[in-house]
Structure 1
């Protein structure tokens, strides 16, 4: 991606921190990957990111900073995610916004830079068919289709 990214500190195997800098101030943001128990042996991680709340020792993924750097923040999270997939060969990353509008914002970011993703990165989108008993299916990500969540993975295995 040609969008500038923030420098990132890896705090643990699953936690990354960077700082949003803009007209409203400097804010610590964290990206956290949480391994989910699938029962199938697959490495599935939930991707969460948001404003770091040092009092709660957790992220708040509902706050909108409006710090004028949304593209740079999303580009930074995207780079962290791609690096994580490289470090965890065979992993699947589940991503969904904390609200439908935030999921839509992430989807627009994926659309915007979809052609710049490495070819070995694959994205599936979760679609619910409300005409067919509300069934949900993972399908290959396509521009112009709305999704409820995303699943990212690499079809390249690193040694």
Structure 2
């Protein structure tokens, strides 16, 4: 994505990334986690605020730090880094709420021309099947892999 991004740090496995959101609510640590699923080479992308007290990710928090485009661009950058390390990986993603799934859909649609240069992206629609991402369609889950 051509938007400004935050600098993120990956752990040794390149499965966990952290970065700091900066805005009116202060400095907020964010995490992106790629976790194994029960399907080989398929990983789930989880994203949210990092809670250092519990060492967990909160994907329901709503920071409202005024930097959502920069945050989503940073998450997208972690996908590039992750797939450089795991080039055969397929990544699933969905929002923790319908509103967030819609936000991700808008982000994908607005940057689709750039995304499809490097990735193949699918959406799971309300009819119960996967299709190549189509702008304007509603999806419940997204699935992408490097070309």
TM-score by length of 2: 0.95
Match of 2:103 in 1: 105
Q: Give, in whole Å, the separation in 1 of the partners of 2:68 and 2:81.
A: 20
Match of 1:142 among 116, 120, 134: 134
Q: Which residue of 2 aligns with 1:36?
A: 37
Give the SS at the match of 1:37: coil
Alpha carbons 2:20, 2:27 under 8 Å: kept: yes
Report the CA distance between 1:118 and its aligned residue. Answer: 4.9
Distance 1:48 1:73 in 2: 13
User: How many equivalent pairs are there?
Assistant: 146
What is the 5 A alignment of 1:3-18? 3-13=3-13, 14-18=15-19
Unaligned runs of 5+ in 2: none
Partner Cα distance (2:68, 2:145) in 1:
24
Q: Which shows bigger deviation, 67-76 or 54-63?
A: 54-63
Task: Find the aligned partners of 2:17 and 2:41 in 1 and give their Cα distance.
Answer: 19
Q: Give the distance between the partners of 1:8 and 1:120, measured in 2 at CA.
A: 20
Equivalent in the alignment of 1:85: 83
Q: After TM superposition, where is structure 1 displaced by more than 2 Å over at least 4 residues in a row?
A: none
Q: What root-mean-square deviation, in Å, do the aligned CA atoms of Structure 1 and Structure 2 show? A: 1.0
Partners of 2:71 and 2:89 in 1: how far apart?
Answer: 23
Q: Which residue of 2 aligns with 1:52?
A: 50
Residue 12 of structure 1, CA deviation: 3.3
Displacement of 1:89: 1.4
Q: Secondary structure at the match of 2:60?
A: coil
TM-score by length of 1: 0.88
1:126 is aligned to: 124
